[in-house]
Structures are given as structure tokens and as C-alpha cells.
């Protein structure tokens, strides 16, 4: 096993990797940018190396600096987390060239699966069902328009090198196909440096189901059941759960077998995720393979009891999988909510700033993978995720109720978060009845605004006033009474 690894990431995922490394007796090197000097992943590491400027290209995306940091500290391996360089085939290749173990699949596998068209070709040859669409790239909008007519509208234009919801356009008719192609290609070029696009059939009532897989270097591949990831905003998941209520044992077995077949067809090793689209008739189709640890991996850990980071490290060290497929059983139900620094009342616009106060929820079955603390300044430079709140209970109803309570107990002051939005989603009838599809937010919460409880606000104002010493401002007192509303004495205040 490795004696020391470097984590090429930040925030809650870096801290998550540190936790398992501590349990395994592995020393950790964190890297950080100027604005992350006091970040929690830096404070908890055994060693930390500053990469320089906050600009990602100068820090967390700078391959030369990260490789140099690994060499200088004697790190034997690099864990990329997710985002940044996690799915960068060139970075994995650099690690291979420098004799540093990349904790993930090989650079060639990352390259093959990172190109959505190549991935579709691999899966087709491997017998994995894929969504009807193009299997060759062609930048000509006229050609794509012809293919759209063959497939039938609506269609989905996707970036071949894409991810994170970038370079995607839903096209309902031929009138907008060419314009959408150009817009998707431009966005893909900006986000990934590759403007290649392709076409798939779009299913307007579908579920996003993904299977966690583990594959060692000795030919064994297993899956760890599914995650329901249909609740998305702008193609980004915000609530995930496991297991999915849409799958019975027979369908789960078939999709699990397809996920394993996808991993074997691509020569996959380490932890990864095979994503599928499930239509209203229970037909499933391959979407893509994420060649890294997923943001939502904790729900799988909660229902299976398997530490996925530990498995990543064991596999990367060359150890055979100690788990067999029959060892993987579903125990209860888990839900994850992503908590971002963003303003749900303002189009979920990022809300950086200082966290004036934070109190994490606690209790049985509650886990909070968190990368911030009271007093920490959330920078504007990176993805605004603060934490992932996960709960586990005996069934979906109990898990939902536990999550709602945990969210209500989660206090973050000083910046905006979507906590109130998440609560309303979980309390909604479509969610509780399991009617969740990829268009869930657009259908039910397009113009969401928080429900203001004036009585609750008055109570909060009274408590704040009392804690502040009950300071009074006589300018607001009436002639008839000396009693003054808390709202009149607090001055300029906000929640």
C-alpha cells in the first residue's frame, strides 16, 4: 500500500479522501491556491503545497506544478477527486510517464470514454444498448439536421468531449436545429477546447440511473447497485438517492450486468460510474462512463457499507478486489442533497463570501461531507459546492423525513444556499410519490420563490434582539406605549 499520496483537489472531496487515508495510515499531501490557504483540506493534511494564483489554470489545473509537488514531497500516487484534472487523459498520461500512480483508470481508457462518440462505439461493440443517435462526428449542421429527421424530434445535441451539462441543447423542431448546433459547438469549445458535437434521441419522460462499478487489475469487475439521479437543474444533479424505486430485482440485475459489460468492453480499472437513461417503458440505454469518483458516491457507501475511496486505493496499489458480486446487498435507503453557495431566488447565481456562522446537522443516519467552516471565505473562483448532506434510513419515506429534518437543522449564515429550496422539493407530492424524471425541476419548480413565514421571522428577530442585549431606539416609540417591535430596534439586518 502507498505510504503517501497527493490529493489534486480541494474542498469537501479532498477532505473525504483524507478521512479514508487517515484510517489506512497513509500520509496526505494537499495542494492549494492563494485563496485556499486556510481551507479545511489544507489544515487537515500532513503536508501542504501552495500552487500559486487562484486562477484554476495557475493552480488546480496546472499539471506541471502538481507533478512537481508530488515529486518534492515524495508522494507515490495522486488522487484527482472529481472535477479539475480528474478526467483529463493528458494528466493521467503525465503521471504514468513520471512514475506516479494515478488513482483511476489508465490514460487511454479516460481518453476513449471521455469522447462520447468513441464511447458509444465501444459500447455498441460490447453489446451494451445505446441511445439512438450518431456514431460518427460530423460538424456540418446540414448533416446533423438530416440525422435529426431520421431519428425524430425531439433530439439532444451534445458535446463529444462534454460533461457537467455543458454543450447540450434540446431541439424540438427542424426550425432551430442549425442554430442550436452552432450554439452547442461554441459552448463546448469554450468549456472543453473541443467543439465537436453529436446527436442523440431525446426522451422527454426519462430517468437518469447510474451504476457504480469497481474493477481491479486482475480481471474482476462488480457493480454496487444503482443511484437515482433524475432530479437535475441545467443537467446538473442536485438530489440523488439509492436505490431507485423505478427498478425491480429483474431490471436491476439486467442493468447491473450491462454496467459490468460496459466496464469490461472499455478495459476499465478502478472505481467508475456507468450512466443510463431509463425510458417510461423501462427500456434502458447507455449514456456515458464517468471515469472517476462521483459527487454522489456516498449514497452507495451508505446502502452497501463499502468505502469506495478505500477500494480505489486498494485497486491502484495492485490488490485484488476482496468483494464478490454476491457480497453486495442493499441495506435501507440513502439520499444526498448538494449544498452550494448559490442564491436560489436569483437564478441560483453563485453566492461567494464569508460564512459568518455554520452549524452542521447531527444525529443517527446523518453524514455531512463538508469542506467549509464558520469564518471561512468561499472564493468566487471555483465550483460553489460547500457540502453534501447524506442521510440513511430503513426505507425511502423514513430517509426523506430524516433529510428534511437534517436540512432544517443545517444553519449557514453570511451567504445564500439552496437549503430551503431542497426542503420544498423533498416535501413536494411528485417527489414523495416517486414521480421524478430529468425534467422534474423545470416541470414543478421553474419559478420557485421561498415561502416566507412572517411569524417565524418575527420570532427570529426577537431572539436576535434579546441576544444583542435588548437595545432600544426611543425614536421609534409611540406616545401611547414604550413597547417597541424587534424589527424597529435591530436596524439594518438580514438572514
- What residues act catalytically? 292
Q: Cell numbers of 36, please?
A: 485556499
Please state the φ and ψ torsions of residue 141, each to the nearest 5 degrees: -60, -30
- Helix, strand, coil tally for the chain in percent (to 5): 40, 25, 40
Q: Is 48 helix (H, G, I), strand (E, B) or coil?
A: strand
Q: Cell numbers of 96, please?
A: 504514468
Q: What residues contact residue 461 under an 8 Å CB cut-off, 6+ apart?
A: 486, 487, 490, 493
Residues in the chain: 495
Integer Cα distance of 356 and 374 in angstroms: 6
Residues 386-389: contacts with CB under 8 Å, at least 24 apart: 386/12, 386/339, 386/340, 386/341, 386/412, 386/417, 387/12, 387/339, 387/360, 388/12, 388/295, 388/296, 388/298, 388/336, 388/337, 388/338, 388/339, 389/336, 389/337, 389/339, 389/361
- Produce one character per residue of 186-219: b if its CB has 16 or more CB atoms within 10 Å, e if not: ebbbebbebbbbbbbbbbeebbbbbbbbbbbeee
Would strands 385-393 and 366-370 be described as parallel, antiparallel, or unpaired? antiparallel
List the strands of the sheet with 333-340, edge to edge: 284-290, 270-279, 206-215, 221-233, 236-242, 333-340, 385-393, 366-370
- CA-nearest of 62, 46, 63, 43 to 54 is 62
Handedness of CA 281, 286, 290, 291 (dihedral sign): positive
Identify whether 380 is preceded by a cis peptide bond (ω within 30 of 0).
Answer: no
Q: Are 487 and 458 in contact (CB under 8 A)?
A: yes
Quick one: how many helices (H) and strands (E) in the chain?
17, 22
Integer Cα distance of 40 and 51 in angstroms: 16
486: part of which helix (H) or strand (E)? helix 486-489
CB atoms within 10 A of CB 258: 22
Q: Cell numbers of 215, please?
A: 474493477
Q: Cell numbers of 383, please?
A: 465550483
Q: Is 288 helix (H, G, I), strand (E, B) or coil?
A: strand
Integer Cα distance of 254 and 237 in angstroms: 24
Q: Are 340 and 385 in contact (CB under 8 A)?
A: yes
Amino acid at each position: 500500500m502507498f505510504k503517501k499520496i497527493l490529493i489534486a483537489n480541494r474542498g469537501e472531496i479532498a477532505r473525504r479522501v483524507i478521512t479514508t487515508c487517515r484510517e489506512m495510515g497513509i500520509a496526505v499531501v494537499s495542494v492549494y491556491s492563494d485563496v485556499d490557504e486556510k481551507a479545511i483540506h489544507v489544515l487537515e493534511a500532513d503536508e501542504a503545497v501552495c500552487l500559486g494564483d487562484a486562477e484554476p489554470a495557475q493552480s488546480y489545473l496546472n499539471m506541471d506544478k502538481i507533478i512537481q509537488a508530488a515529486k518534492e514531497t515524495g508522494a507515490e500516487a495522486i488522487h484527482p477527486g472529481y472535477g479539475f484534472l480528474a478526467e483529463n487523459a493528458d494528466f493521467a498520461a503525465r503521471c504514468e510517464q513520471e512514475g506516479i500512480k494515478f488513482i483511476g483508470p489508465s490514460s487511454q481508457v479516460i481518453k476513449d470514454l471521455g469522447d462520447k462518440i468513441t464511447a458509444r462505439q465501444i459500447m455498441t461493440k460490447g453489446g451494451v444498448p445505446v441511445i439512438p443517435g450518431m456514431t460518427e462526428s460530423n460538424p456540418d449542421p446540414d448533416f446533423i439536421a438530416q440525422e435529426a429527421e431520421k431519428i425524430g424530434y425531439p433530439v439532444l445535441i451534445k458535446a463529444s468531449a462534454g460533461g457537467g451539462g455543458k454543450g447540450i441543447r434540446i431541439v424540438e423542431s427542424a426550425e432551430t436545429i442549425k442554430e442550436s448546433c452552432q450554439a452547442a459547438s461554441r459552448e463546448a469549445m469554450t468549456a472543453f477546447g473541443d467543439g465537436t458535437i453529436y446527436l442523440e434521441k431525446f426522451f422527454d419522460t426519462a430517468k437518469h440511473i447510474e451504476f457504480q462499478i469497481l474493477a481491479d487489475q486482475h480481471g474482476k469487475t462488480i457493480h454496487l447497485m444503482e443511484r437515482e439521479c433524475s432530479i437535475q437543474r441545467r443537467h446538473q444533479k442536485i438530489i440523488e438517492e439509492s436505490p431507485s424505486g423505478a427498478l425491480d430485482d429483474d431490471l436491476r440485475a439486467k442493468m447491473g450486468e450491462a454496467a459490468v459489460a460496459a466496464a469490461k468492453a472499455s478495459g476499465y480499472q478502478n472505481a467508475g460510474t456507468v450512466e443510463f437513461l431509463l425510458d417510461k417503458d423501462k427500456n434502458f440505454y447507455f449514456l456515458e462512463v464517468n471515469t472517476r469518483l462521483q459527487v454522489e458516491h456516498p449514497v452507495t457507501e451508505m446502502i452497501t457499507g463499502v468505502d469506495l475511496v478505500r477500494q480505489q486505493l486498494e485497486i491502484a496499489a495492485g490488490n485484488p478486489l476482496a468483494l464478490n458480486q454476491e457480497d453486495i446487498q442493499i441495506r435501507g435507503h440513502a439520499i444526498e442533497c448538494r449544498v452550494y453557495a448559490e442564491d436560489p431566488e436569483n437564478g441560483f447565481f453563485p453566492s461567494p463570501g464569508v460564512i459568518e456562522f455554520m452549524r452542521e446537522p447531527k444525529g443517527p443516519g446523518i453524514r455531512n461531507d463538508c469542506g467549509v467552516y464558520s469564518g471561512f471565505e468561499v472564493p468566487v473562483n471555483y465550483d460553489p459546492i460547500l457540502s453534501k448532506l447524506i442521510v440513511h434510513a430503513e426505507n425511502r419515506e423514513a430517509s426523506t423525513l430524516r433529510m428534511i429534518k437534517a436540512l432544517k437543522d443545517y444553519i449557514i449564515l453570511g451567504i445564500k444556499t439552496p437549503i430551503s429550496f431542497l426542503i420544498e422539493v423533498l416535501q413536494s407530492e411528485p417527489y414523495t410519490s416517486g414521480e421524478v424524471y430529468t425534467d422534474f425541476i423545470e416541470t414543478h419548480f421553474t419559478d420557485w420563490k421561498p415561502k416566507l413565514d412572517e411569524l417565524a421571522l418575527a420570532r427570529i428577530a426577537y431572539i436576535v434582539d434579546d441576544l444583542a442585549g435588548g437595545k432600544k431606539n426611543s425614536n421609534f416609540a409611540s406616545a401611547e406605549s414604550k413597547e417597541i417591535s424587534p424589527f424597529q430596534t435591530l436596524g439594518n439586518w438580514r438572514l
